[in-house]
Amino acid sequence: MKFRSDPSTVRGSIAPVVTPFAADGSLDLGSLRSLVRWQLDQGSHGISTGGSTGEPGAQSVEERVAAMAVVAEETADRVPFLPGTGSAKLDETLRLTAEAERLGADAALVITPYYARPTQEALYRWYATVAAEFPALPIVIYNVPSRTAVDIAPATVARLRRDHDNIVGIKETTKDFEHFSHVLNLCGRDFLMWSGIELLCLPLLAIGGVGFVSAAANLAPKTVARMYEAYTSGDHATALDLHYSLHPLVELLFVETNPAPAKWVLEQRGLIASGHVRAPLITPTEPGIARINELLAQSEGVA
């Protein structure tokens, strides 16, 4: 809650941690606790849970709340806590957002409702409802059309920004980089924007973004955080070097469906007890593991 009063302090590398499950598929809160501690030790500037990398669609509301509670306890106001609270159902979204507020989250990351493919007017009303329900909680729109089948238009974001003071920013996970610029142009450059596309994290900073929520931080939190720090300190050459050093790990993340490759690597490194992913995902296949190992070799030294 420490950063809630000034959302502009939520900057840098906000690590979207995986949700560990035991080998039998049950929620592994012990591994999650250890993972958050490791992220903080490695220098991540904030923690997010319950985003796409956290497999929220495969969890019950109760499990998502339990995970949020662990992360809130471990971050303990040392860094911003930005949990994903969105769902395809409005009642679940409101319940999860209420729990995030109660647990002291600094902002709520609310995904566009998936599968239904709502119109722009419907998206406006969805976010307006959430914002009006929690006027004291900063709301961050989460735009990820590759997973939701709907793209929130820059004009819709700008309308929400004008009408609701607590809609403070957006996580853009679209490869249409022009979209980033249109949103900032319409909303104003004080609107907060984080990239969820790994290879657009560094370019976003050049046009006014405040950081990134990048799955690469699950495997190389120190490098991802240092890239932000180098750029904002004016050392653009180092930031560029770090950007390119991450390429093999970025490819690794998507050898098979995210977060299965990342969880497999985290298990191999002893950072979580099991790399289990819940159905409909599966752990990496043998060809996938072979490719993952090739890319790990290419990224040796990137941490």
pLDDT at 28: 98
Under a CB-based contact definition with an 8 Å cutoff, are residues 168 and 194 in contact? no
142 is catalytic: yes
Under a CB-based contact definition with an 8 Å cutoff, are residues 45 and 225 in contact? yes
Tokens read off for 7: 């959302």
pLDDT tens digit string along 257-294?
A: 999 999 999 999 999 999 999 999 999 999 999 999 99
228 is catalytic: no
Under a CB-based contact definition with an 8 Å cutoff, are residues 53 and 261 in contact? no
pLDDT tens digit string along 207-232?
A: 999 999 999 999 999 999 999 999 99
pLDDT category at 196 given cuts 50, 70, 90 is very high
Angle at which helices 29-42 and 61-75 pack, to 10 degrees?
40
Which of 124, 127, 142, 228 is flagged as catalytic? 142
pLDDT at 36: 98
Q: What percent of the chain has pLDDT over 90?
A: 99
Q: What percent of the chain has pLDDT over 70?
A: 100
Opening angle at CA 139, ends 133 and 144, nearest 5: 120
pLDDT at 115: 93
> Average pLDDT for residues 236-258, to the nearest whole number?
98
pLDDT at 65: 98
pLDDT tens digit string along 105-124?
A: 999 999 999 999 999 999 99
Q: What is the DSSP letter of 166?
A: T
pLDDT at 123: 98
pLDDT category at 1 given cuts 50, 70, 90 is confident
> Average pLDDT for residues 54-77, to the nearest whole number?
97
Q: What is the DSSP string of 56-124?
A: GGGS-HHHHHHHHHHHHHHHTTSS-B--B---SSHHHHHHHHHHHHHTT-S-EEEEPPPSS---HHHHH
Which of 114, 124, 127, 171 is flagged as catalytic? 171
**Residue 145 CA: distances (Å) to CA of 4, 130, 239, 286:** 27, 20, 28, 30
What's the number of CA atoms in the CB half-sphere (13 Å) around residue 12?
A: 23
> Average pLDDT for residues 193-204, to the nearest whole number?
98
φ, ψ for residue 141 (rounded to 5)? -70, 140
pLDDT tens digit string along 27-53?
A: 999 999 999 999 999 999 999 999 999
**pTM for this predicted structure:** 0.96
Secondary structure class of 16 (helix, strand, coil): strand
pLDDT at 303: 84
Residue with tokens 């932000």, as numbered in its chain: 228
